[in-house]
Amino acid sequence: MARIVMKFGGTSMAGTERIRRVANIVRKQAARGHEVAVVVSAMAGETDRLVNFCREANALYDPAEYDVVVASGEQVTSGLLALTLQSLGCKARSWLGWQLPIRTIEAHAKARIEEIDAQALVASMQAGEIAVIPGFQGCGSDGRVTTLGRGGSDTSAVAVAAAIKADRCDIYTDVDGVYTTDPRIVAKARKQKAVTYEEMLELASVGAKVLQTRSVGLAMKEGVRVQVLSSFVGEDAVPADEHPGTMIVSEEEMNELVEKGDMERQHVTGIAHDKNEAKVILTRVPDKPGAVAHIFEPLAAASINVDMIIQNVGRDKGETDVTFTVPQADLARAQA
């Protein structure tokens, strides 16, 4: 018997029929005697829809109210999955972020998890109840709902796995593992049996959205065993316990796999891309000490992540151009 976290992404949760398929995968793991906590995303497209509502309501939206709106997608799917599991004869209940609670810092829309009180959760799992947890959401110290940034349900799953000392965190998605590049774009991409935490961290941070970057960093820090695998499988699929997906492993484990001949030593693990970056160019910035700080300090204060920065040679004496990138979603606030 093992203690397992199973996370299902948006495509896996898109509609009641798919939720029934997910419920069956969960039921099978529980039937093997495992203690199971499930972390779910909102239905595919739902978070985008909710974000658009916020933008329509107020382009310079207050991140705290944005969180109230966008966290609702996962509340719906967690309740629906608990209901579906119950209809299959399983004991199941949902645990919202504030109920556990999943405590985060108050940086709305990009909160970081500080701690999860897992006592009640573990007690209920030990009593044979399947726990269903909405991903992406947490609770600030002021009691207000927070969200963890886009793709944050992966991080919720890894954080729950660390808090309950799970044997494994299985991330079920719409591809059957981590590939050398996005298999939806490059048909020749190859599935990897294992990838190290460091390699996955690098790939995720430059755009391989199969795992949220922060989830990989957290898994590495907490030593959580993560597997990426598909929820779109038939009844006769190899059980997750036999590692049919891609395992995220430590450097030592990877060396062992290479020595056993299970993996080839690779010089390039993968290629990633990111289309959600916006480029901002400020022209004619005074070329003197402190000028650049005047640009980046307010961005940092607004919790806007600046990724690449280039300072160009100015056209006129004493002036320079500064170019930087921010997430597309933060562009309006960065401009303001």
Q: 37: which strand partners?
A: 5, 131
Nearest to 178 by CA among 136, 228, 137: 228
Taking every pair of C-alpha atoms in the chain, what is the biggest distance, in angstroms?
Answer: 75
Per-residue binder mask for ligand ADP (CB under 6 A), 160-199, x = binder:
-------------xxx--xx-xxxx---------------
Instruction: Verify binding: residue 41, ligand ASP, rule CB under 6 A.
Output: yes
Residues in Cβ contact with 48 at an 8 Å cutoff, skipping those fewer than 6 apart: none
For ligand ASP, which is the closer residue by CB, 210 or 292? Answer: 210
Coil vs helix vs strand at 128: coil
Distance of CA 42 to the CA centre of its chain: 12
292 vs 225: CA distance, rounded Å: 42
Pick out residues in 154-173 that bind ligand ASP (CB under 6 A).
Answer: 154
For ligand ADP, which is the closer residue by CB, 173 or 227? Answer: 173
Range in contact with Mg ion (rule: CB under 5 A) among 145-153, 156-164, 197-205, 226-234:
145-153
Nearest to 12 by CA among 228, 219, 203, 168: 228
127 vs 266: CA distance, rounded Å: 45
Residue 270 interacts, among Mg ion, ligand ADP, ligand ASP, none and using kind-specific CB cut-offs from 5 to 8 Å, with ligand ADP
- What sign has the CA pseudo-torsion 295, 301, 302, 306? positive
Residue 277 interacts, among Mg ion, ligand ADP, ligand ASP, none and using kind-specific CB cut-offs from 5 to 8 Å, with none
Per-residue binder mask for ligand ASP (CB under 6 A), 55-74, x = binder:
------------------x-
Instruction: Verify binding: residue 21, ligand ADP, rule CB under 6 A.
Output: no
Among 97, 101, 140, 151, binds Mg ion (CB under 5 A): 151
- Please tell me whether the peptide bond between 327 and the residue prior to it is cis, using omega within 30 degrees of 0: no
Among 23, 39, 42, 326, binds ligand ASP (CB under 6 A): 42
Range in contact with Mg ion (rule: CB under 5 A) among 60-68, 75-83, 102-110, 148-156:
148-156
Nearest to 245 by CA among 191, 281, 207, 197: 191
Q: How far is the CB of 114 from Mg ion (least distance, A)?
A: 22
178 vs 262: CA distance, rounded Å: 16
Q: How far is the CB of 201 from ligand ASP (least distance, A)?
A: 17
For ligand ADP, which is the closer residue by CB, 42 or 125? Answer: 42
Q: How far is the CB of 41 from ligand ADP (least distance, A)?
A: 6
Instruction: Verify binding: residue 135, ligand ASP, rule CB under 6 A.
Output: yes
Residue 234 — φ and ψ, nearest 5°?
A: -80, 175
Amino acid making up residue 242: E
Q: Could you tell me if 227 and 170 are in contact, meaning their C-beta atoms sit under 8 angstroms apart?
A: yes
Residue 134 interacts, among ligand ASP, Mg ion, ligand ADP, none and using kind-specific CB cut-offs from 5 to 8 Å, with none
Q: Could you tell me if 137 and 41 are in contact, meaning their C-beta atoms sit under 8 angstroms apart?
A: no
Residues that bind Mg ion (CB under 5 A): 9, 151
Residues that bind ligand ASP (CB under 6 A): 9-10, 41-42, 47, 73, 135-136, 150-154
Residues that bind ligand ADP (CB under 6 A): 9-11, 41, 151, 173-175, 178-179, 181-184, 208-210, 270, 272
